[in-house]
A and B are shown apart, each in its own frame.
Chain A
Amino acid sequence: MYRKAVLLSIFLVLSYGFWLSPDIKQIAAGVAIFLFGMLLLEEGFKAFTGGVLEKILQKSTKGLFKSMSFGVITTTMMQSSSLVSVITISFLSAGLITLASGIGIIFGANLGTTTGAWLIAGFGIKVKISAYAMPLLVFGVILVLQKQKDLKGLGYVLAGVGFLFLGISYMKEGFETFREQIDLTAYAVSGFKGLLLYTLIGILATVIMQSSHATLVLIITALASQQVTYENALALAIGSNIGTTITAILGSISANINGKRLAAAHLIFNAVTGIIAIAMISNLIMLVDWIAQNLDIDNDNYTLKLAIFHTLFNLIGIIVMLPFINRLVTLLMRLLPEKTHAIAEPVYLNKASIELPETAVEAVRKETLNLYHYFFGIICHGLSLRVRDIKSDKPVKEIIESEKKPIPVNIQEEYTNKIKRLYGAIVDFISQANENMTQEQMNEVYELRSAGRLMLESIKGAKHLHKNLSRHLNDPNPYIREEYNKIRYRLGSILRGLAELEKDPDEERIVLPTLEAMRQEMKQADEQFFNDIDQHIRAHHITGTMATSLMNDNSYAKQIAKKLLKIATILFKNRDTTMHEVEQSLQLDEQEIADALRADKNTDKDCSPEEKTDHEDK
């Protein structure tokens, strides 16, 4: 309702303006064309985000300096700090980069966006850029009509740049004729009051247009046609720098807590930079004059001086804020803490990731891992084991012996509130995100979805097992208690193995032999189980009914174990496709496993470890 009212008021004000003066119409049309150009530019760059951008981002954001440079370069190339900040938020939400790296990119983007002022002030105002716009639009539209994704993307970029140029040209012409009729400088407010007032106008203009670039073009064109005073233009630039954070704030609404933290960091950085610029305005003006003098820029070339000012105060902001990045991260973590949910909410799935295929795959992978952590907890509790014990170094046998009483847990409720809910969100997200995915990416998300389904099925088994386990753990018959504890030990050992596997860093993790060993152990334990049951029945330690119950629960345990291993194979597999394929080619068949387990390692003379080392190092 509120938004509709605002929109209606904007329409009314604009309509009145259009009726009042055709020049306002021309300036507004220029802004609209400019914004449309930016939309096309964003659309164009999205076409290249099917892998290349993500890979570059991952590699170039290791370390603060790298991430800052990345922010500067990408924003200079794309001429949109908003696009870079929104993409950064989506990457942070998907867990591809750290918060510190994200902040580094945002800092860099703030500096990169100042190149726009230089381009417009140095090039856009002097040259008739609408002449460049036409061929760009023609080539762009032809390419947009192509089917190939890359060509289409390039078409959008060209058309976007074309519209940007056209928009600037319209604004420039509008202001030039406007100058002849109305003198806006008559409304100039000098002094500190003017500084604050025009900063506020700059903020508002950027919030409405959602582009500091568009505001800056408006300021520069107005300044070039002397519609605003130099001092007021500086204040407008400060305001536009603060107002630009609105895009990131809006982008973070659908993002997770890390995305929100980054948007907050963006706001803090730009607000602090703005306050510094306002506080030091007279010193900055003197510094700008000195730099302009040294760069041979005319004293009355206020547009280029504005570009210097814009770069300078952003640079000062970075220099001031850089030493406090880690403190800023800590502060944001404290101010915006991670919520613990009784009801599981998706952490990594957000709208911002849907349109970027590689980010979407990563988001699904991380969310499935999140689901796995809930699942892991439920399975542990279902076996009356504590997650912290399973993840510790304490021997599993000791844990079983110390936790003899069943842990009260409502598996059905946990399943409904956490697993089913989260899995539903993953399934929904996949069906929305797979439109832009390649076949390989689709296979990957479908595999992850199947891991989730295996978790759902295992929980159903765990529910039955938990019911009988809770009853028999308090059973006066020591034999049946012992058998149920053996089941707990078997599954507990697998859970311990998986926890260790997850703890291993990616570069050290090798799942093949570990899971194979677990599979063999499971097989042996199953055989042993039936031998033990036969013995207990023969010795009248347990009744036939008890044996049936045990056999049913053993079957549940076996199914859960099998599924746990399948889930681990999917979640912890090597993410490099070739590496995964090669790893799979080393898989042993039944006979090879049997031979390997029979063989005594020391008597194997086929190939000594030294010989192997030589070969591998060659």
Chain B
Amino acid sequence: MKINELINLADDYLNSKNRKQKSKIKCLKHILKKLRKREKKLESKRQKGVNDNDKEKISSELKLIHAHRKKGLTLLKQLQQELNEAKKSKKDKAGDI
């Protein structure tokens, strides 16, 4: 590994903003997975056959989960884009030098 790459790696690690961003992305992915798990659990519960009242409740929660996942996905895309842009601008700066 070249010395420049090593410096970049160390810089990446020490850059607290980048690190926070990465940790946020990691958490968000984890939460999205949890939401998907909950969604599957509720869907199978609904299919197993519950009374109408419970069916309605499950449907409402499923709709809300869907909205949360949609919001989460938008946020994930945005965070990933910001991180890529930060990396790109750093590369450009290094190229200029």
Verify B23–A578 contact, CB threshold 8 A.
yes
Q: How far is the CB of B32 from chain A (nearest CB, A)?
A: 5
Chain A residues with CB under 8 Å of B9's CB are none
Q: How far is the CB of A385 from chain B (nearest CB, A)?
A: 17
B61 within 8 Å of A (CB atoms): yes
Chain A residues with CB under 8 Å of B37's CB are 508
- Residues of B43-74 whose CB lies within 8 A of A: 50-51, 53-54, 57, 60-73
Chain B residues with CB under 8 Å of A595's CB are 67
From DSSP, what is the main secondary structure of chain B's interface residues?
helix
- Residues of B11-63 whose CB lies within 8 A of A: 23-24, 27-38, 50-51, 53-54, 57, 60-63
Q: How far is the CA of A512 from the CA of B77 in the complex (A)?
A: 21
Closest residue of chain B to A588, judged by CB?
B67
Verify B31–A586 contact, CB threshold 8 A.
yes
B76 within 8 Å of A (CB atoms): yes
Chain A residues with CB under 8 Å of B35's CB are 510, 513
Q: Which of B24, B29, B36, B65 contacts A578 (CB 8 A)?
A: B24
Total inter-chain residue pairs, C-beta < 8 Å = 94
A527 within 8 Å of B (CB atoms): no
Q: How far is the CA of A304 from the CA of B27 in the complex (A)?
A: 54
Q: How far is the CA of A546 from the CA of B17 in the complex (A)?
A: 61
Given the known inter-chain contacts A508-B34, A586-B72, please indicate yes or no for A517 contacting B66, CB distance below 8 A: no
Chain B residues with CB under 8 Å of A402's CB are none
A596 within 8 Å of B (CB atoms): yes
Q: How far is the CA of A606 from the CA of B54 in the complex (A)?
A: 28
Q: How far is the CA of A521 from the CA of B58 in the complex (A)?
A: 11
B86 within 8 Å of A (CB atoms): no
Q: How far is the CA of A509 from the CA of B30 in the complex (A)?
A: 11
Given the known inter-chain contacts A397-B53, A582-B27, please indicate yes or no for A588 contacting B38, CB distance below 8 A: no
Verify B31–A510 contact, CB threshold 8 A.
yes
Verify B31–A508 contact, CB threshold 8 A.
no
Chain B residues with CB under 8 Å of A516's CB are 61, 64
Verify A579–B62 contact, CB threshold 8 A.
no
Chain B residues with CB under 8 Å of A493's CB are 57
Q: How far is the CA of A616 from the CA of B36 in the complex (A)?
A: 10
A612 within 8 Å of B (CB atoms): yes
Verify A513–B64 contact, CB threshold 8 A.
yes
Q: How far is the CA of A521 from the CA of B53 in the complex (A)?
A: 11
Chain A residues with CB under 8 Å of B63's CB are 596-597, 599, 601
Chain A residues with CB under 8 Å of B71's CB are 586, 588, 592
Q: How far is the CA of A259 from the CA of B70 in the complex (A)?
A: 47
Verify A582–B28 contact, CB threshold 8 A.
yes
- Residues of A106-123 whose CB lies within 8 A of B: none
Quick one: CB contact mask for A585-618 with B, threshold 8 Å, 1 for yes? 1101000110111010100101100001101101
Verify B51–A517 contact, CB threshold 8 A.
no
Q: How far is the CA of A618 from the CA of B80 in the complex (A)?
A: 10
Chain A residues with CB under 8 Å of B66's CB are 596, 599, 601, 604
Verify B67–A616 contact, CB threshold 8 A.
no
Given the known inter-chain contacts A513-B68, A593-B64, A595-B67, please indicate yes or no for A616 contacting B23, CB distance below 8 A: no
Closest residue of chain A to B35, judged by CB?
A510
Verify A607–B61 contact, CB threshold 8 A.
no
Q: How far is the CA of A163 from the CA of B71 in the complex (A)?
A: 61
Verify A576–B64 contact, CB threshold 8 A.
no
A583 within 8 Å of B (CB atoms): yes
Q: Which of A521, A582, A606 contacts B60 (CB 8 A)?
A: A521
Q: How far is the CB of A476 from chain B (nearest CB, A)?
A: 27
Closest residue of chain B to A604, judged by CB?
B66
A443 within 8 Å of B (CB atoms): no
Verify A616–B76 contact, CB threshold 8 A.
yes
Closest residue of chain A to B71, judged by CB?
A586
Verify A592–B67 contact, CB threshold 8 A.
yes
Verify B73–A607 contact, CB threshold 8 A.
yes
Chain B residues with CB under 8 Å of A604's CB are 66, 70
Q: How far is the CA of A582 from the CA of B36 in the complex (A)?
A: 16
Supply 8 further A-B pairs (C-beta < 8 A) apart from A508-B38, A593-B64.
A395-B51, A510-B35, A578-B23, A596-B63, A597-B63, A607-B70, A612-B32, A612-B69
A-B residue pairs in contact (CB < 8 Å), sample of 8: A513-B35, A513-B65, A582-B24, A586-B31, A593-B64, A595-B67, A599-B67, A601-B63
Q: Which residues in B have some Cβ–Cβ distance to A below 8 Å?
A: 23-24, 27-38, 50-51, 53-54, 57, 60-73, 75-77, 80
